[in-house]
Amino acid sequence: MSDRTTDAPPAQGPAGRGNPAGRGNRGGPGRAAANAVICDDVTYRFGEHTAVNHVSLAILPGETFGLLGPNGAGKTTTIRMLTTLLRPVTGRITVFGVDTTAQAMRVRRMIGYVPQLLSADASLTGRENVELFARLFDVPRRGRRERVAEALAAMGLTDPADRLVKTYSGGMVRRLELAQALVNAPRLLVLDEPTVGLDPIARADVWEHITRLRERAGMTVLMTTHHMEEADLYCDRVSLMHRGTVRATGTPDALKAMLGPEATLDEVFRHFTGGTLDEETGKGGIRDVRQARRTARRLG
């Protein structure tokens, strides 16, 4: 990762605080005013059970947007609709103006998706894993090696790239997953619980890489988490989700200010939902990561 290649102005803070639209953060052709994602009145049901209940969201280009809520809130289901894997029963979703139902393939090409359950293959090297995704996502043969090397470098994995993934730490596996999701140069990076199962140091490390990447590429990031401090530190704006509905949306600072000068995001969540977020999803490292790996399914 180099500081020289940057589209972002140096004044841009670590999380782009106070600049939710990422204005000036994109050197690219995108229209600054357009939304990266619009979810308009979206509902999903598993049988009788309404997992997502008339949810509306608008995510601005260049921002890091957090969907916060405890297990079962409907975060993953929302993300799976957004990534075209599930079809909403009411409402409509667009990604950079493209309808997820009508033009699913176009939407998929714009998205890098890191699912909640990990899917790196431990019996391959890091580089081989990323190459696999490059082929899966139709990264043109010409320049593919460079794109793979760039994605690995962006996640700080150049040195261990040719080692088997079974020798990686949990944090390295997660960064490898990010490299896989990055290899098709997505406009929107979707991360479902990107740091679940990682220790605090590995979590901070993953976030440092995501933040640098975002500053460099002006990418829009949508992430889910139930780690409040993480959302507070790294998200420009968050939506608080509880039992399938969005209860509040805003910058972490604005939401906290509604409760008082000393308020934490956790207290804000309790205020709006009556629920709590601090249930822990099993901690653990590479063993959990490996167990979860095989069950993951991806776009493509």
Enumerate binding residues for ligand ADP (CB under 6 A).
46, 49, 51, 69, 71-77
Q: Which of 21-29, 93-101, 113-121, 158-166 is the region at the interface with Mg ion (rule: CB under 5 A)?
A: 113-121
Q: Does 225 bind Mg ion (CB under 5 A)?
A: no
Q: Does 100 bind Mg ion (CB under 5 A)?
A: no
Given the complex with ligand ADP, which of 14 and 46 has the nearer CB atom?
46
Q: Do the beta carbons of residue 288 and residue 300 sit within 8 Å?
A: no
Q: Do the beta carbons of residue 242 and residue 214 sit within 8 Å?
A: no
Q: Does 77 bind Mg ion (CB under 5 A)?
A: no
Q: Do the beta carbons of residue 94 and residue 85 sit within 8 Å?
A: no
Tokens read off for 280: 């822990």
* Bridge partners, 64 (sequence order): 221
Q: Which helix (H) or strand (E) holds 291?
A: helix 286-293
Given the complex with ligand ADP, which of 117 and 299 has the nearer CB atom?
117
- Residue 73 binding partner per list ligand ADP, Mg ion, none, with a CB distance cut-off of 5 to 8 Å that depends on partner kind: ligand ADP
User: Smallest distance from the beta carbon of 2 to Mg ion, in angstroms?
Assistant: 34
Given the complex with Mg ion, which of 74 and 126 has the nearer CB atom?
74
User: Smallest distance from the beta carbon of 54 to ligand ADP, in angstroms?
Assistant: 14
User: Smallest distance from the beta carbon of 168 to ligand ADP, in angstroms?
Assistant: 25
Q: Which residue is nearest to Mg ion (CB)?
A: 76
| Phi/psi of residue 242, nearest 5 degrees | -150, 130
User: Smallest distance from the beta carbon of 102 to ligand ADP, in angstroms?
Assistant: 23
- The helix/strand/coil state of 114 is strand
Given the complex with ligand ADP, which of 17 and 297 has the nearer CB atom?
297
Q: Which residues contact 117 (CB under 8 A, 6 or more apart)?
A: 292, 293, 295, 296
User: Smallest distance from the beta carbon of 75 to Mg ion, in angstroms?
Assistant: 5
- Residue 77 binding partner per list Mg ion, ligand ADP, none, with a CB distance cut-off of 5 to 8 Å that depends on partner kind: ligand ADP
CB-neighbour burial class of residue 170 (10 A; exposed 0-12, middle 13-18, buried 19+): buried
Given the complex with Mg ion, which of 16 and 74 has the nearer CB atom?
74
In angstroms, how far is CA 255 from the centroid of its own chain?
A: 21
- Residue 197 binding partner per list ligand ADP, Mg ion, none, with a CB distance cut-off of 5 to 8 Å that depends on partner kind: none
Q: Which helix (H) or strand (E) holds 8?
A: none
Within 140-199, which residues bind Mg ion (CB under 5 A)?
A: none
Tokens read off for 42: 């979206």
* Bridge partners, 297 (sequence order): none
| Phi/psi of residue 289, nearest 5 degrees | -60, -45
User: Smallest distance from the beta carbon of 192 to ligand ADP, in angstroms?
Assistant: 7
Q: How many residues does the chain have?
A: 300
Q: Does 76 bind Mg ion (CB under 5 A)?
A: yes
Residues that bind Mg ion (CB under 5 A): 75-76, 116
